[in-house]
């Protein structure tokens, strides 16, 4: 794993110096991150990189994962969908499963430390074990239009936290606690984002049986209805009428998402027997994801709702032209017609993809602009600095702070 000094060539020496200066003020503090899964999803990817860097900076950082059975994760998936605005029937029995599992985790987990950093709704009820330490709730999802009764249920816990963190201004809500706005990030030196030789890219496409004899449109996401993989197939079919191309839908499922395999079957049914549609159920293989993005002609992210969408930052970092939905945190990453193209429908996405396939020079310029936008705003070092400032602020003024 790279060390902080390895990032100097990407972000310059003063950026690393600032991180060390801030971290010195947190020496001796114990920071404990808690989420719902160790495998799959953007939160896991961020914690995999963030925790070791905090440790390198001399901070006693930890990462713990709650436990839960199939019923618990089925309930939390419905809560996830409801927070995104979907209509879900969540019964009193469902909420009882959530509360009971949370109490089991409270009894088993070490919740000591100076700062307890809770990620997303699944572990939110652990706040009931709060003592004199500081607790932060990090909401990674878009809660701008949540199902009212589910938001009301979470509000019995949120006010007990010292602060809440959201990814975009539009996600924040009126709360009686301090709010921080911190965007997620990518690690430019990780296996998923580092430079790869062309022969490795070709080898990965060969491995998955995807020929590079025609343009390749790719969406890389979990098989989740909110990522609209069936809608991606509809986009491809519209483009295919005018531009011969291939479609790659690649991703996996997270351990806290029980719907993944069901959605995968829906995608396979929608694809039918089209030999130019390649559906790849991939293990956690960051190098392969990296190669698939680099070898693609256009990257698509047709989410219906989105917390942030780190696959967009990953694609832009590789200077790839991206077509993505105008939802959630995506507009923070894509300035329309400058660093990518935004869309609001299947027809809009298809029109944008055709535009890029028919104008390679324009596609290349969008990709170049996108890479610089990510360099300036969405790399791990900026994210790490924001978190260090957040941690420091917990021991100082109670004024609202916007990072």
Distance, CA of 189 to CA of 11 (rounded, Å): 12
Distance, CA of 353 to CA of 365 (rounded, Å): 15
Q: Which CATH class is domain 4-185+379-393?
A: alpha beta
Q: For residue 388, what pLDDT is reported?
A: 97
At residue 285, φ and ψ (nearest 5 deg) are -130, 95
Distance, CA of 84 to CA of 97 (rounded, Å): 21
Q: Given the structure tokens 């660093």, which residue do they identify?
A: 339
Q: Candidates 3.20.20.70, 3.40.50.2000, 3.40.50.920, 3.90.550.10; correct CATH number of 198-377?
A: 3.40.50.2000
The pTM assigned to this predicted structure is 0.86
Distance, CA of 87 to CA of 121 (rounded, Å): 17
Q: CA nearest 59: which of 342, 397, 390?
A: 390
Distances (CA, A) of 283 to 253, 287, 332, 380: 9, 11, 29, 24
Query: Residue 141 corresponds to which tokens in the numbers above?
Result: 């999802």
Distances (CA, A) of 346 to 179, 229, 401: 35, 11, 39
Q: For residue 257, what pLDDT is reported?
A: 67
Q: pLDDT, tens digit, for every residue of 175-232? A: 999 999 999 999 999 999 999 999 999 999 999 999 999 999 999 998 999 999 999 9
Distance, CA of 391 to CA of 117 (rounded, Å): 10
Q: Is residue 65 within 8 Å of residue 36, measured between CB atoms?
A: yes
4-185+379-393 with 198-377: one CATH topology? Answer: yes
Per-residue tens of pLDDT for the chain, all 403 residues: 899 999 999 999 999 999 999 999 999 999 999 999 888 777 888 899 999 999 999 999 999 999 999 999 999 999 999 998 889 999 999 999 999 999 999 999 999 999 999 999 999 999 999 999 999 999 998 899 999 999 999 999 999 999 999 998 888 889 999 999 999 999 999 999 999 999 999 999 999 999 999 999 999 998 999 999 999 999 999 999 999 999 999 987 665 667 788 999 999 999 999 999 999 998 778 999 999 999 999 999 999 988 788 899 999 999 999 999 999 889 999 999 999 999 999 999 999 999 999 999 999 999 999 999 999 999 999 999 999 999 999 997 655 444 4
All structural domains of the chain with their residue ranges: 4-185+379-393, 198-377
Q: CA nearest 57: which of 380, 374, 397?
A: 380
Q: pLDDT, tens digit, for every residue of 63-94? A: 999 999 999 999 999 999 999 888 999 999 99
């Amino acid at each position: 794993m790279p060390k902080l000094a390895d990032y100097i060539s990407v972000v310059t020496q003063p950026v690393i110096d600032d991180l060390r200066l801030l971290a010195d003020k947190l020496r001796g503090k114990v920071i404990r991150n808690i989420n719902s899964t160790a495998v799959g999803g953007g939160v896991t990817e961020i914690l995999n990189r963030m925790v070791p860097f905090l440790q390198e900076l001399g901070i006693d950082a930890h990462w713990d994962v709650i436990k839960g059975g199939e019923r618990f994760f089925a309930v939390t998936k419905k809560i996830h969908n409801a927070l995104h605005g979907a209509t879900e029937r969540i019964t009193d029995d469902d909420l009882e499963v959530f509360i009971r599992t949370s109490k089991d985790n409270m009894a088993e987990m070490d919740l000591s430390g100076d700062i307890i950093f809770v990620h997303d709704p699944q572990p939110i009820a652990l706040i009931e074990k709060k003592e004199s330490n500081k607790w932060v709730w990090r909401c990674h999802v878009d809660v701008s239009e949540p199902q009212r009764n589910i938001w009301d249920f979470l509000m019995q816990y949120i006010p007990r936290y010292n602060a809440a963190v959201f990814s975009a201004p539009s996600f924040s809500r009126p709360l009686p606690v301090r709010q921080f706005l911190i965007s997620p990030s990518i690690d430019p030196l990780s296996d998923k984002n580092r430079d790869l030789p062309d022969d490795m890219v070709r080898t990965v496409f060969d491995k998955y049986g995807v020929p590079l004899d025609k343009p390749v449109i790719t969406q890389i996401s979990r098989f989740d209805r909110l990522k609209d993989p069936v809608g991606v197939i509809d986009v491809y079919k519209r483009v295919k009428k005018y531009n011969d191309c291939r479609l790659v839908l690649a991703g996996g499922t997270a351990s806290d998402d029980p719907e993944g395999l069901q959605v995968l079957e829906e995608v396979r049914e929608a694809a039918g027997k089209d030999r130019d549609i390649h559906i790849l159920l991939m293990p956690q293989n960051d190098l392969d994801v990296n190669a698939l993005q680099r070898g693609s002609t256009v990257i698509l992210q047709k989410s219906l709702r989105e917390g942030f969408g780190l696959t967009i930052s990953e694609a832009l970092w590789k200077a790839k032209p991206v077509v993505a939905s105008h939802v959630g945190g995506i507009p923070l990453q894509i300035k329309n017609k400058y660093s990518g193209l935004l869309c609001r429908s299947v027809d809009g996405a298809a029109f944008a993809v055709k535009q890029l396939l028919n104008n390679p020079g324009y596609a290349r310029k969008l990709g170049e602009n996108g890479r610089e936008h990510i360099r300036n705003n969405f790399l791990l070092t900026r994210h790490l600095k924001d978190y260090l400032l957040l941690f420091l602020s917990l021991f100082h003024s109670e004024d609202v702070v916007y990072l």
